[in-house]
Amino acid sequence: MPEKPEVITVTKKLERRLKNRKITACHVYYEPIIDYPSVKEFSTRIKGQTMHEFTTRGKWIVITLDQDYLLIHLRMEGKFFFRERGVPLEKHHHVVFTIDDEEELHFQDVRKFGRMKLIPKDKILTMPPFTELGLEPWDKHLTVEYLREHLKKKRIPIKTALLDQSIITGIGNIYDDEILFLSHIFPLTPACLLNDDELAAIIRNTVITLDKAIKEGGTTIRNYTSEEGVTGLFQNHLYVHTKVGEPCPNCGTKIVKIKVNGRGTYYCPSCQKQTERS
């Protein structure tokens, strides 16, 4: 599943190709992908709108149009492909946007979990997903005080709490392990028991980890010969995630895998020591 850095990289790729261009038609071939409004309203309203700004909120791609925001969630395997206008539809291409009457942007999704919403500008802050999302990792309001306040009643493991998108949005299972490794925190530690130094480390290492992945994503992307098929999982330089049995890059101890709330979790038993509180 793409994580936040991959979503940002895909968004930048789309921006490069689509900024200030107009959606002149939209056809939906698998209706459940359109989450809001109705499929008919979605494809009618979007027609004629120009794509101005490209950004992300949580793991949603957010495209600012003339009257609305187009929100896209790639979920497991959603991908975009550019095609010449009028080419025959390929398998698993579920939504087709015509751009400037010239070419087409195809949304392909083998697993069919991807979702799109078209939300009027004046409603964006009062509707999901924006109402359900916590702070972005780079938000200046993400402070030790904020985290302490939001974790103080959470007895769940910190590993699980960091996946809660209503606190910090954009941390997925992979980078969660990396952030806790860099912060020297045992993943099963109850979130409410972390001290201020540990909370500060989490905030610092979240930014470091995601920035590094975005940078690597940019590097990987340059190896692509076209804009196509970019989902990008840039996991070339992970410290612990998936590294079970390999030596910890810090101390050489073998990395261990456990399950935390059903999610595969990797950590170094020496660097991330289990203490009495966990």
Residue among 48 and 247 whose Cβ is closer to Zn ion? 247
188 binds Zn ion (CB under 5 A): no
User: Side-chain half-sphere of 71: how many Cα atoms within 13 Å?
Assistant: 23
Window contacting Zn ion (CB under 5 A); options: 33-41, 51-59, 223-231, 261-269: 261-269
Window contacting Zn ion (CB under 5 A); options: 19-27, 100-108, 228-236, 264-272: 264-272
99 binds Zn ion (CB under 5 A): no
Given 3, 104, 136, 178, which residue is catalytic?
3
* Min CB(151)–Zn ion separation in Å: 25
251 binds Zn ion (CB under 5 A): yes
* Min CB(255)–Zn ion separation in Å: 8
85 is catalytic: no
Give CA–CA dist 186/274, Å, rounded.
6
CB 268 within 8 A of CB 255: yes
Distance (Å) of CA 275 to CA 188, 194, 260, 272? 10, 11, 17, 9
Q: Which residues pair with residue 105 across a beta bridge?
A: 82, 97
Given 5, 6, 13, 59, which residue is catalytic?
59
72 binds Zn ion (CB under 5 A): no
Cα Rg of the chain (Å, integer): 20
Give CA–CA dist 184/248, Å, rounded.
12
* Min CB(179)–Zn ion separation in Å: 15
16 is catalytic: no
115 is catalytic: no
3 is catalytic: yes
Residue among 166 and 274 whose Cβ is closer to Zn ion? 274
For residue 156, what is the DSSP state? S
With CB under 5 A, what is the number of residues at the site for Zn ion?
A: 7
CB 69 within 8 A of CB 55: no
φ/ψ of 27, rounded to 5, equals: -125, 135
Given 47, 85, 154, 263, which residue is catalytic?
263
Window contacting Zn ion (CB under 5 A); options: 66-74, 87-95, 145-153, 246-254: 246-254
Chain positions contacting Zn ion, by CB under 5 A:
248, 250-251, 253, 268, 270-271
Which residues are annotated as catalytic?
A: 2-3, 59, 263
